[in-house]
Amino acid sequence: MKLKPIEQQVVAVVGASSGIGRETALQFAKRNAKVVVSARTESGLASLVDEITALGGDTIAIPADVAEFEQVKSIVDRTIDRYGRLDTWVHAAGTGIIAPFEQVTPEEFKRVIDVNLMGSVYGAMVAMPHLRQTGRGAFIAVSSVEARRSMPLQSAYSASKHGMEGFLDSLRSELKQEGFPISITNILPSVINTPFYNKARTKLGVMPTGIPPYYQPSLVAEAILHAAENPTRDMIVGDVGRVIDLLQKLVPDLTDTLVGAIAVPGQRTERIKATDDPNNLFEPIEGYNTTTGDFTDKTIPSFLDWFDFHPAVKWGTAAGLGALALIAANILKE
Give the pLDDT confidence of 258-297 residue by residue, as tens digits. Answer: 999 999 999 999 999 999 999 999 999 999 999 999 999 9
To the nearest whole percent, how much of the chain has pLDDT over 90? 89
68 near 17, Cβ under 8 Å?
no
As a whole number, mean pLDDT of residues 114-131 equals 97
pLDDT bracket for residue 34 (50, 70, 90): very high
Averaged pLDDT of the chain: 95
What does the pLDDT look like over 125-143, one tens digit per residue? Answer: 999 999 998 888 999 999 9
> Cβ of 217: how many Cβ atoms within 10 Å?
29
With 70 as the cut, is the pLDDT of residue 315 above it? no
Alpha carbon 163 to its chain centroid, in Å, reads 13
Query: Which pLDDT score, from 0 to 100, does residue 311 have?
Result: 76
What does the pLDDT look like over 145-193, one tens digit per residue? Answer: 999 999 999 999 999 999 999 999 999 999 999 998 999 999 999 999 9
Query: Which pLDDT score, from 0 to 100, does residue 320 have?
Result: 76
What does the pLDDT look like over 3-33, one tens digit per residue? Answer: 999 999 999 999 999 999 999 999 999 999 9
Residue numbers annotated as active site: 157
Query: Which pLDDT score, from 0 to 100, does residue 135 have?
Result: 83
Query: Which pLDDT score, from 0 to 100, does residue 314 have?
Result: 67
Query: Which pLDDT score, from 0 to 100, does residue 316 have?
Result: 75
